[in-house]
Structure 1
Amino acid sequence: MTTPDKKADFSGVSANVDTTAEKVEKADFSGVTASVDTTAEKVGEQTYTVAKGDTLSHIAKQFYGSANKWNAIFEANRDQLDDPDRIQPGQVLKIPPQD
């Protein structure tokens, strides 16, 4: 004969939860403001994605009306261009505003 399993007796167990949520003052962000500025909007800078067959002269003619202004695009993109004759399709070039 088997004896029935005894059930656990939790009658003497108690719990107390203390939270700091009520004790901490809430942060006051009422005076905080945020602003996002972009120089592109302020100075008129644009971008151009290079297509197959493009040259800096061709791009300059398109944006400035003069192929001779290719150097302005080259100088604005020195971070990604070492040689003005080696632009690659898919590159996104910064087009500085006209002087």
Structure 2
Amino acid sequence: MGLFDFLKKGEQKPANPVKPGTPHGGMADPIQQSRPAQPQAAANMDTYTVKSGDSLSKIAKNFYGDAMQWRKIHEANKDKISNPDMIQPGWVLKIPKQ
């Protein structure tokens, strides 16, 4: 930018536009590219593998200290659990953190 550039009329555009998500200069960050993308939801979830004799209320009691919180677990796993009274050993359930 020169001394009298403020006198120029019209729209000013940057000489080298920077793409979103890249550092200045437009080059991709090699460190950022090598990191796997983690979903935001995963940061707020634990997992639990269902064992024989488990129920959503027992799992909720273990994680939350309150068996009535079983609905949180059911909501997080609706893709897997169609009937909350029938969970199967070996299923890996997502457990929302409090």
**Under TM normalisation by the shorter chain, which class is it?**
0.5 to 0.7
2:50: which partner in 1?
Answer: 50
Report how far residue 97 of structure 1 moved.
Answer: 1.2
**Residue type of the alignment partner of 2:79:** D
Structure 1 residues without counterparts, runs of 5 or longer: 1-29
1:59: which partner in 2?
Answer: 59
Aligned partners of 1:78, 1:71: CA distance in 2, in Å? 10
Report how far residue 31 of structure 1 moved.
Answer: 3.6
1:14-39 alpha-carbon deviations (Å, 9 max, x no partner): xxxxxxxxxxxxxxxx7443132423
1:14: which partner in 2?
Answer: none
Q: Tell me the TM-score normalised to structure 2 length.
A: 0.63
Aligned partners of 1:82, 1:53: CA distance in 2, in Å? 18
How high is the sequence identity, in percent, across the aligned residues? 51
2:86 maps to 1:86: yes
- How many aligned residue pairs are there? 67
Structure 2 residues without counterparts, runs of 5 or longer: 1-26
Q: Tell me the TM-score normalised to structure 1 length.
A: 0.62
SS at match of 1:68: helix
Aligned partners of 1:46, 1:64: CA distance in 2, in Å? 12
Aligned partners of 1:61, 1:84: CA distance in 2, in Å? 15
SS at match of 1:95: strand
